[in-house]
Chain A
């Protein structure tokens, strides 16, 4: 979770580069280290990516498109988008609320609260699916009541949404808490003193300051929401055309000897992952530029 925005100070302080020679490594060591790192990344990142795409297009581009246009594939894509579309905004609102409470206030039980928010991250996806079965299943705590009222939670869309919310629970909150903490409260207090309402202060002062972190959290949250397999698999019921998400559909196709089609849908998910990374890089780039601009601004101010 400590994926971090590496907002570096590169380029801001050229003075730091002067002494590189004294503290650098010899060219040989440098290239060996680069070589090892690149090899490691190639082995664990490029190779899996390459295999997904090479298998997806093994039978050519025609079958590739055909497998994505199947009604079952389309409904899996729709369900995945729906689940992410509900889970991400809910976790976003939660993340902002939690970060506001934790980042701006001191209260008893704060570290416990942080730990509990982190919990879904380290809970096995299988267990996160299981807890909803134990709660909403027909043999579960609430199951009989739900059955009497003709309500279906697990093996239906709500169960899938709940499992998705659970596994992506901490993402936005964990991105925002340190940001709001680091900001302090002077700016907000100033706004309030000038007569702004609480919501105005939040939307005009606090939110702009955390927007990049917020966006980053949303991106990660979304990627994980669309890709979740284990937890959703437990609560889905695998009804084709109705409760299969994209990762589940990959497994089904794979089990139907339709390997190319399986990898075609998988490649769609991989593309999503790549798009996520692209957006993330853009976000970082924008954030870094803004940081640089504000740094320059500060500098000019001081000179003036």
Chain B
């Protein structure tokens, strides 16, 4: 009897292990990459992957398939930490890639120095989406904290875009005449008091704003704002550009431990480098990401409005510091929702 039980157990285990085949080995003429990215880059990488596959085939004769996974930036980083076999990560902010380095040691701590421009091949910024005709006359950040204005933004604890929204608001308040940490804290507190729905990702917030028609203004990635107007119609919504915003830098990196295991380092590296080429920059610009390359930037200058942009470095001293102070448990953001304050 015991024997039979053991046989059954063995079969069960064997079945499971048989299913857990190892995929994505670079072999001969074919290679598969997994790009783990954040929410609003779906369309960008759909275009980019095709272009890269063509480029790589022409250059090496190898067929490359790039698989995509999208979700909230931190959720995606967590997946990689837990063993999601990403060859490259293209996330919303440096902190999430830092987290992969710190929590799982899958890439070195100085990953951001390995590619040009802080490993950020394209940038974006934070703008407002309002209802057609701007009925509530929302022009700048100050208008968002007025009583009776309903603001839609995702949860900064889970969404990378939401963290950029938050730091943009904070930086604005700080840079106003007479601005101080105290005033900035008061400002973001009033802002979040006006938020009726806190979705877990940027896409969820856009749906809430456009599809459910909740809120007077959506704080969004610039690329996301352009895209939603393209997808959902210019007759319903329009973009408002605030006087100042943040230079949002979504970085990219290869995941060393994974590419070395799978033997895909060369192609993964080329994939990221291709983002910096004129072709890659062009695709980014077409998907409403601000290109880094001057020649491409000039060509698309008419699309992107001129905004005074501050960086996370100058206002917060980098993402590590910002995360610790604002978004960690018990941080400034949590205090907004403390009941007794």
Contact = CB atoms under 8 A, between A and B. Distances in A.
A, B from the same assembly: yes
Interface string B59-77: 0000000011111000000
Interface in B18-73: 19-23, 34, 39, 42, 67-71
B197 to A, nearest CB: 15
A137 B104 CA distance: 11
A238 B83 contact: no
Given A151-B17, A153-B20, A257-B232, A139 B79 contact: no
A138 B71 contact: no
Nearest to A134: B82
Most buried by A among B16, B207, B231: B16
B299 to A, nearest CB: 27
Contact of B69 (A146, A152, A237): A237
Most buried by B among A158, A254, A255, A259: A255
Contacts of B34: 239
A150 B22 contact: yes
Contacts of B84: 155, 237, 239
Given A138-B81, A240-B67, A259 B22 contact: no
Chain A interface size, under 10 / 10 to 19 / 20 to 34 / 35 or more: 20 to 34
Most buried by B among A139, A140, A155: A155
Given A139-B81, A239-B67, A157 B42 contact: no
A154 B82 contact: yes
A138 B106 CA distance: 11
Interface of B: 12, 16-17, 19-23, 34, 39, 42, 67-71, 79, 81-85, 103-104, 201, 203-204, 206-207, 211, 228, 231-232, 261
Given A147-B83, A237-B79, A239-B67, 13 more contacts: A138-B104, A139-B81, A143-B82, A152-B85, A154-B82, A155-B82, A155-B84, A156-B23, A158-B16, A240-B70, A255-B39, A255-B207, A257-B207
Interface of A: 90, 133, 136-140, 143, 146-147, 150-158, 161-162, 237-242, 252, 254-257, 259
Task: Report, nearest first, the 3 A-B pairs whose CB atoms are least far apart.
Answer: A138-B83, A137-B82, A255-B203
